[in-house]
């Protein structure tokens, strides 16, 4: 299975921080159109936590998901190497999963990222690896550029 | 493996048509920024072939891939149920694969779509199923809507 | 004012066709998330009418507006030069206007396009020119490429 | 004319800060595909400066412009009211302008934002107001939601 329930090298403290910041990030959501709040938090290889939330738009195609506001915030803060990403929605009975756009944006910076999918309050979660949820991906090497994580 | 080399129920004629139209669709590409032509052709469950190609923009974020111009063309032509999608790029040494955005757009209309990835001239190919290249996908049912293929 | 109420060179028949096809294009809309139907029809310089409608997605950022499904459909049908675009929504008390993404996509192929904004049933309308609703635009020439309409 | 050369209420210090941070923001750009660096800085009504830069992707449609990485960073930092946005590219002979996607994303939070367009090193600039470069815009009120700045 591609679904894991361990912490994949995160310490107890790192995992707890990631979870807490991911749940809390939902408060930053601007989602008056879907009323579907999403929070995301990145843990960089430098040990920084950087959060994002979905920022919607009257023109739906201009909506930017939580994962992407977090990734771009990390990049423009000087970080391009990521250990883990936590994601949480307000779905009650299931655990949300990143859309294809966000998988593509995360993938740009490496395939070996752990994605922790938390339920609404963080009481349940599972872990997937980006490469397992975007197999045969299209990336920098397809356009002749070097990959970020080899 | 998620990679297949059979025709998954397409007749020889259907497969040949899909291949030919996919390769030919690249001629429709508007890609002055990347110079990376991509063609796509959809075979609907009604037996229609509908082609697309990438349409780029000076603002890269407004670029629309071949798979998406084909899907939206199919939808606005009255088709929402797809058996197969063929894709081809001009990459010489490898076979291109759909980006995450396009996987998401295809997925809206069902997870059981066969994707035929052809090399530059169609002399090589392999087949994947959408559900295998976008596992744990986010879709209509996550927002309380019915799925298109059950 | 940038708002006009004439036909800018369209014959009575062309205007009537554009209006009818634009209103009818709304029936092609796939918009289960917003329940906001939009139809668009392009009149190419060759005299072809090509329609589109909005095609939405569970991941809102992957939604593609009516204007863009029409433009890309035109491009992959071999047309890149447009005389007019008609747009209509189901808004009762006002006349909808294209979003910034669509203005950008239309602009790629020329600034001298007439945009006819119809109300819900086409009984009211006004005309604007693309260059007036996207002044100081970013386009091909900013990246060293030739403009499509000089 | 919609082009202005004053500071529209910014103090000398605020203008100098906006310019410096906008030029410097280009260093944060991740643009291996276009090699076209863009930097942006927002001045919020609270007096905070928040910068962004373009973050590109192998799938061009997933590219996010500088203006949008800055806006979303501001929103997820708790700010939704903006006085000014500075933008600069590396274009030598001209001053770049925001694309339609970014105009749409800025517009979501209000039409009365000053946009300062700086040349490559900030030695030249002009100012436009968002409402003048996206007239007849589509926004929250078209979908029945309140506007952010009345
Ligand atoms: Zn997403
Ligand atoms: Zn794509
Ligand atoms: Zn639009
Ligand atoms: Zn932009």
> Is the confidence at residue D150, as pLDDT, over 70?
no
Distance from the CA of B38 to the center of ligand 2, in angstroms?
9
Q: Which ligand is nearest to the CA of B137?
A: 1
**Catalytic residue (choose from D13, D14, D67, D108):** D67
The strand pairing partners of C85, in sequence order, are C42, C115
What is the SS3 assignment for B4? strand
Distance from the CA of D100 to the center of ligand 3, in angstroms?
10
> Is the confidence at residue C145, as pLDDT, over 50?
yes
For residue D105, list chain C residues with Cβ-Cβ distance below 8 A.
Answer: 100
The structure tokens listed for C56 are 């939405």
Burial D106-130 (b: 16+ CB within 10 A, else e): bbbbbbebbbbbbbbebeebbbbeb
What chain C holds in terms of domains, given with CATH numbers, is 12-134 (3.40.140.10)
Q: In this predicted complex, what is the ipTM?
A: 0.98
Q: What are the pLDDT digits (tens) for C55-102?
A: 999 999 999 999 999 999 999 999 999 999 999 999 988 999 999 999
Share of chain B above pLDDT 90, in %: 97
| pLDDT category of residue B92 using cuts at 50, 70 and 90 | confident
End-to-end CA distance of chain C: 25
Q: What are the pLDDT digits (tens) for A31-48?
A: 999 999 999 999 999 999
Q: What are the pLDDT digits (tens) for D69-123?
A: 999 999 999 999 999 999 999 998 899 999 999 999 999 999 999 999 999 999 9
DSSP D60: G
> Is the confidence at residue C25, as pLDDT, over 90?
yes
Q: What are the pLDDT digits (tens) for B56-90?
A: 999 999 999 999 999 999 999 999 999 999 999 99
The pLDDT value recorded for residue A122 is 97
CA distance linking residue B146 with residue C69, whole number of Å: 24
For residue C139, list chain B residues with Cβ-Cβ distance below 8 A.
Answer: 58
**Chain CA centroid to CA D142, Å:** 23
End-to-end CA distance of chain D: 25
Does A100 reach chain C within 8 Å, measured CB to CB? yes
| pLDDT category of residue C149 using cuts at 50, 70 and 90 | confident
Q: What is the mean pLDDT of chain B?
A: 96
Distance from the CA of A81 to the center of ligand 2, in angstroms?
24
Does C48 reach chain D within 8 Å, measured CB to CB? no
CB contact under 8 A, B97 and A136: yes
Segment D25-51 mean pLDDT:
98
Does A134 reach chain B within 8 Å, measured CB to CB? yes
| pLDDT category of residue C150 using cuts at 50, 70 and 90 | very low
End-to-end CA distance of chain A: 25
> Is the confidence at residue D34, as pLDDT, over 80?
yes
The Cβ-side half-sphere exposure at C129, using a 13 Å CA radius, reads: 13
For residue A68, list chain C residues with Cβ-Cβ distance below 8 A.
Answer: 61
Q: What are the pLDDT digits (tens) for A88-140?
A: 999 988 999 999 999 999 999 999 999 999 999 999 999 999 999 999 999 99
Chains A–D, number of C-beta pairs less than 8 Å apart:
101
Q: What are the pLDDT digits (tens) for D48-78?
A: 999 999 999 999 999 999 999 999 999 999 9
- Cβ-in-10-Å burial (0-12, 13-18, 19+) of C90 comes to middle
The residue assigned the tokens 């990631």 is: A18
CA distance linking residue A67 with residue A50, whole number of Å: 10
The helix-helix angle for A66-76 and A100-107 (nearest 10°) equals 20
The pLDDT value recorded for residue A150 is 44
CB contact under 8 A, C103 and D98: no
The pLDDT value recorded for residue C93 is 85
Element (DSSP H or E) covering residue C86: strand C82-89
Q: Which of A3, A138, A143, A147 to mutate to test the interface with B (most CBs of B within 10 A)?
A: A138
Share of chain C above pLDDT 90, in %: 97
Q: What are the pLDDT digits (tens) for B17-45?
A: 999 999 999 999 999 999 999 999 999 99
Q: What is the DSSP string of C50-83?
A: EEEE-B--SSGGG-B-HHHHHHHHHHHTT---EE
What is the SS3 assignment for B86? strand
For residue B96, list chain A residues with Cβ-Cβ distance below 8 A.
Answer: 138, 142
Strands of B1-150, DSSP E? 38-44, 49-53, 82-89, 114-118, 125-129
Q: Are C53 and C72 in contact (CB under 8 A)?
A: no
Q: Which of residues 103-122 of A touch B (CB under 8 A)?
A: 103-105, 107
The pLDDT value recorded for residue B150 is 44
Share of chain A above pLDDT 90, in %: 97
Task: Return the residue of B nearest to C108 by Cα.
Answer: B57
CA distance linking residue D116 with residue D67, whole number of Å: 12
For residue B64, list chain C residues with Cβ-Cβ distance below 8 A.
Answer: 64, 68, 72, 105
The strand pairing partners of B39, in sequence order, are B53, B88
Q: Which of A28, A139, A140 lies at the smallest CB-CB distance from D76? A: A28
The strand pairing partners of D44, in sequence order, are D82
Q: What is the mean pLDDT of chain C?
A: 96
What is the SS3 assignment for D131? helix
């Amino acid at each position: 299975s591609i679904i894991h329930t361990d912490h994949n090298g995160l310490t107890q403290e790192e995992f707890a921080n990631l979870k807490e910041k991911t749940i809390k990030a939902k408060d930053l959501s601007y989602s008056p159109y879907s009323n579907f709040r999403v929070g995301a938090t990145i843990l960089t290889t430098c040990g920084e936590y950087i959060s994002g939330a979905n920022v919607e738009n009257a023109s739906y195609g201009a909506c930017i998901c939580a994962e992407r506001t977090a990734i771009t915030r990390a990049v423009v803060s000087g970080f391009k190497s990521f250990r883990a990403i936590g994601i949480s929605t307000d779905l009650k009975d299931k655990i949300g999963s990143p859309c294809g756009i966000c998988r593509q944006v995360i993938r740009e910076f490496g395939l070996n990222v752990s994605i922790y999918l938390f339920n609404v309050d963080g009481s349940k979660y599972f872990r997937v690896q980006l490469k397992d949820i975007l197999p045969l991906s299209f990336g920098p090497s397809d356009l002749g550029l070097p990959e970020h994580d080899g």
